[in-house]
Amino acid sequence: MKELSQEEWQKQIQNDKDAVLLDVRTEEEVEEGYIPKSKNIDIYKGQGFIDEVEKLDKSKHYYIYCRSGKRSSQACTLLDQMDFAETYNLIGGFSEWEGEKKTD
């Protein structure tokens, strides 16, 4: 896992053809807004989270965020233990995100 600032995160994603954005927040949090093109898998679902993550391509590079950076750090650690190639945690999470946001 690497901890990335918003600037590093945005720059790296633009230049990474294997980038996958992973939002590990709850559905309620996602309804308040999310980073475009991100896939949501709620880390609070426990085994359900593990089951969903197992379906992902482990060779891709996962840019993971939550509200503050704590849950996404845990998710990075889990994915690292599951032999995912690369994981990146967004420092400060969505609550400090100043980039593009979407709401449905």
Annotated catalytic residue, options 22, 53, 66, 78 = 66
Question: How far apart (Å, rounded) are the C-alpha atoms in residues 39 and 97?
Answer: 17
Residue 102 within any structural domain of the chain? no
Residue 104 within any structural domain of the chain? no
Q: For this structure, is 76 an active site residue?
A: no
Domain that holds residue 19: 2-96
Structural domain total, the chain: 1
Predicted confidence (pLDDT) per residue in 69-85, tens digit: 999 999 999 999 999 99
CATH code of residue 31:
3.40.250.10
Predicted confidence (pLDDT) per residue in 37-63, tens digit: 999 999 999 999 999 999 999 999 999
Q: What is the mean pLDDT of the chain?
A: 97
With beta carbons less than 8 A apart as the criterion, state whether 69 and 93 touch: yes
pTM: 0.96
